[in-house]
């Protein structure tokens, strides 16, 4: 979508009028080209016309043509995902761009084990009680530690994943500081995460669809699996590159990742996860 927050409001309203209780984002991942463009081109105009021009596509739009806008937006979206900012003016019909599009998106599902991750904690339940953090009352999420060493001893930078009650990966994130995952996930002795993602966790746990499991692997562990050109990079840059690449590649599976991260040009993981 282009300016998703605007469009989803109308769709959610229509769903509510039809007697549906869920929101659009509950049914699948939503990608917003305005958000992606603002991330890739800070301070620049993110209108559809501007992005069409950057992408080297036809600028002869028929005003109020929903079909044409949708087709152009699809091409702009793919361009934003697959090209570094300096290349956005290149036509997406070029073969090397098509090859990169195929690489960064796959219908194959991924598991934490394939990525080399181990279980760390389980999110076991939700409470009505709250804790106060950053001027908000946030509901408490109960957890159980599965791997104490990985929870408090294995230091970052690292990558982590959250699986639902069916053991399917729904979220991938990074932790780039040189301390353990505990420091990323705990505030005031209780589980904390970004507001939007926390709401996904709470919805699952409130519905009895738990436990949810958090997995992790450190960049130091990953370096043994990655191409030598990537392993030689700074650990923080590896974590940033892997998170963006994995979210892009498995975005249809990662329903709790609500935004795409900027891809690192030329960054590859060697597809070590193939089994």
HEC profile for 100-137? HHHHHCCCCCCCCCCCCCEEEEEEEEEEEEEEEECCEE
Last residue of a domain, one of 81, 104, 127: 104
Q: How far apart are CA 205 and CA 162, in angstroms?
A: 13
pTM assigned to the model: 0.63
Last residue of a domain, one of 78, 104, 130: 104
Last residue of a domain, one of 70, 104, 138: 104
Q: Are 219 and 239 in contact (CB under 8 A)?
A: yes
Which residue pairs from 147-152 have beta carbons closer than 8 angstroms and sit at least 24 positions apart in sequence?
147/118, 147/119, 147/120, 147/121, 150/118, 150/120, 150/180, 150/181, 150/216, 151/120, 151/121, 151/180, 151/181, 151/182, 152/180, 152/182
Percentages of the chain per state (helix, strand, coil), in multiples of 5: 40, 20, 40
Name residues whose C-beta falls within 8 Å of residue 252's C-beta, 6 or more positions apart in sequence: 28, 29, 107
* Same structural domain, 98 and 164: no
* Same structural domain, 147 and 217: yes
pLDDT in tens, the chain (275 residues): 787 777 777 787 777 778 777 777 666 667 778 777 776 677 778 787 777 777 766 555 665 567 777 777 787 777 766 555 444 443 333 344 344 444 445 557 899 999 999 999 999 999 999 988 878 888 999 999 999 999 999 999 999 999 999 999 999 999 999 999 999 999 888 888 888 888 999 999 999 999 999 999 999 999 999 999 999 999 999 999 999 999 999 988 999 998 888 898 889 999 999 86
Q: Domain for residue 18, yes or no?
A: no
Peptide bond into 239 cis (omega under 30): no
* Same structural domain, 181 and 222: yes
Q: How far apart are CA 226 and CA 242, in angstroms?
A: 10
Q: Domain for residue 267, yes or no?
A: no
Count up the domains in the chain and report the number: 2
Q: Domain for residue 5, yes or no?
A: no
* Same structural domain, 142 and 205: yes
Residue carrying structure tokens 């996930």: 185
Residue carrying structure tokens 């080297």: 56
Domain that holds residue 49: 31-104
Query: In the prediction, which pLDDT does 61 show?
Result: 60
Query: In the prediction, which pLDDT does 99 show?
Result: 42
* Same structural domain, 60 and 181: no
| Strand partners for 121 | 145, 214
């Amino acid at each position: 979508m282009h300016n998703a927050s605007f469009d989803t409001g109308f769709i959610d309203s229509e769903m509510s009028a039809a007697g549906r209780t869920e929101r659009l984002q509950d049914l699948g991942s939503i990608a917003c080209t305005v958000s992606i463009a603002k991330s890739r081109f800070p301070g620049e105009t993110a209108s559809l016309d501007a992005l069409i021009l950057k992408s080297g596509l036809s600028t002869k739009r028929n005003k109020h043509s929903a079909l044409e806008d949708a087709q152009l937006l699809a091409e702009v979206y793919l361009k934003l995902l697959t090209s570094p900012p300096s290349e956005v003016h290149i036509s997406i019909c070029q073969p090397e761009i098509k090859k990169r599009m195929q690489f960064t998106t796959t219908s194959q599902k991924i598991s934490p084990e394939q990525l080399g991750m181990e279980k760390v904690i389980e999110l076991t339940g939700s409470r009505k009680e709250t804790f106060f953090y950053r001027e908000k009352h946030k509901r408490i999420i109960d957890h159980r530690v599965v791997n104490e060493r990985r929870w408090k001893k294995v230091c970052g930078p690292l990558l982590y994943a959250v699986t639902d009650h069916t053991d399917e990966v729904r979220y991938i994130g990074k932790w780039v500081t040189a301390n353990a995952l505990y420091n990323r996930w705990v505030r005031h002795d209780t589980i904390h995460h970004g507001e939007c993602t926390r709401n996904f966790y709470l919805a699952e746990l409130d519905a009895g669809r738990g436990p949810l499991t958090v997995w992790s692997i450190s960049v130091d562990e990953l370096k043994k699996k990655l191409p030598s050109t990537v392993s030689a990079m700074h650990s923080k840059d590896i974590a940033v590159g892997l998170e963006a690449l994995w979210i892009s590649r498995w975005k249809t599976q990662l329903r709790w990742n609500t935004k795409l991260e900027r891809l690192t040009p030329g960054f590859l993981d060697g597809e070590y996860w193939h089994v």
